[in-house]
Structure 1
């Protein structure tokens, strides 16, 4: 009798979990379908994968980047994809350099002209960095901050008034777990991501009253060309696909997780493995231990260079 009751309880729980999952997927689909979605850094890496999954979900995409030819190649690819199960739209493009904040306002005007409004803005474009604080020129810090911080906030502030006026909108930023913890030889990058986390946390609180949502999504390492294109302390290109990046998460899986996070209106999401996630808690609960671990990591990473 007890065993039978337990089985019925498990069965009901399983049914409820299944129903909850299906309901969540339905809400996500309704939220994304027909929405005007802007994606920066869409021509490569995670941005390109986000374009694919949001297009498949029925979003009206505006793809942004610096390389018009690569954006058009992506548009052509997406046009040729149709499974017949869901209505999809032909994406449009807006080409501009996010690091040139003087051009961002005119780019925002062009973006808004495409459909008259923006439902979801995904700030994805970014650049990475590898180097020692001791030998990094301040101009490199400015370059990384310009692309990873000042560019996204300039675009956000240009789009935001239209969202406030409509009392509707969603701003998402692809940050990094390094926006929550800092590791050696990533100072400029981690600083830019910490700044982004702080800015968008402030923004979330300020615009909640206007019905505007803010999501900060923080992945760990992703298998893209981010490290190849990273800048070094003297401003030159790093040009190396490092081990952590090569063994990182599948960008398609991360893009699908971004879609779910935005579709479910999540405010702050960590997309990292067990150890990086654990590091976030250690940094908060036992900072001294975290600092010791990072110092050990710094010595270990420097050692081969000294041999």
Structure 2
């Protein structure tokens, strides 16, 4: 087990949902947590709710603005001196058929779920290489493994970051840097409210599948435990999601017959 006591863990998208749950779990494990998202007030609300709040910091940034990302990185190093784990969690989902999705919406989802993760990693990577240690994790999605209706752009972006992470892992393994990809299934968060429709506007309501999903706290516990064990391919979800991943490996044809019959919106 790779303990994280007194290690610096930087989590993006940390103001709510999966990021907030991961922050709480890492704090319980004794880490120094760096919380990032766009709104400082929301980050501060999370920070003061963590165990030993004074050891954690809030660093606001819009992950799609490269200058803000660079500034945030410099701030983290100035205040903490190092980064041991980077958890790329910030993301944006989708609820729209392909035929109804504008190209502007396609690009917006790819910008947040793929390009911004790539840029932050490239920004932080020299620190990990200089340390010859560290773990970089990406919160992808089960839909990055199994394309479904209403999530084509989201699925594509999450699959893209998975493949990019695989290449990164191969390139930096000899330098002591570890790379993990996390594939959540349905987890109870506000992701459905913020998911973009075809016109690029928030859906504004909860999905039934999300409402009946895994608790965010359970997701965080399973994820942090798997990361501490050094796992690189981490599927976290219910039996249906895990069964889908298994069937995808055995028979994609059978899988997509199953998916066409599922209620996924």
TM-score range, shorter chain: over 0.9
- Report the equivalent of 2:15: 43
d(CA) in 2 for partners of 1:219, 1:124: 11
16, 19, 27: which is aligned to 1:55? Answer: 27
CA 1:63–1:292 in 2, change beyond 3 Å: closer, same or farther? Answer: same
Query: Matches of 1:38 and 1:44 in 2, distance apart?
Result: 15
* Structure whose alpha-carbon radius of gyration is higher: 1
**Structure 2 residue corresponding to 1:185, chosen from 147, 150, 156:** 150
TM-superposed CA distance for 1:293, in Å, is 2.7
Q: Contact (CA 8 Å) 1:55, 1:89: kept in 2 or not?
A: no
Q: Does 1:223 align with 2:195?
A: no
What does residue 274 of structure 1 align with? 239
Q: How does 1:60-79 map to 2 (within 5 A)?
A: 60-78=32-50
Partner of 1:169: 134
Question: 1:278 and 1:185 mapped to 2: Cα distance?
Answer: 20
Match of 1:127 among 84, 88, 92: 92
CA distance in 1, matches of 2:67, 2:254: 43
Verify: 1:253 aligned to 2:218, yes or no.
yes
Q: Map of 1:1-307 to 2, 5 A cutoff?
A: 27-28=1-2, 31-78=3-50, 81=51, 90-297=55-262
Identify which of structures 1 and 2 has the higher relative contact order when contacts are C-alpha pairs closer than 8 Å and 6+ apart: 2
SS in structure 2 opposite 1:231? coil
> How far apart are 1:279 and its partner, in Å?
1.6
Structure 2: gaps of 5 or more residues: none
Secondary structure at the aligned position of 1:37 is classed as strand
Q: Kindly indicate whether the alpha-carbon contact (under 8 Å) linking 1:37 and 1:61 is maintained by their aligned counterparts in 2.
A: yes
| Distance across 1 between alignment mates of 2:110 and 2:57 | 28
Deviations 1:157-193 (A, max 9, x none): 1001111011111101111111111111101111111
Q: Aligned-pair distance for 1:102?
A: 4.1
Q: CA RMSD in A?
A: 1.6
**Displacement of 1:258 after TM fit?**
1.5
* Structure 1: runs of 5+ lacking an equivalent: 1-26, 83-87, 303-307
Aligned residues: 265
Q: Normalising by structure 1, what TM-score?
A: 0.82
Q: Is the 8 A contact 2:23 2:35 kept in 1?
A: yes
Query: Larger helix proportion, structure 1 or 2?
Result: 1
The C-alpha deviation readout for 1:13-37, integer Å capped at 9, x for no partner, is xxxxxxxxxxxxxx34xx2000011
The alignment partner of 2:191 has SS state of: coil
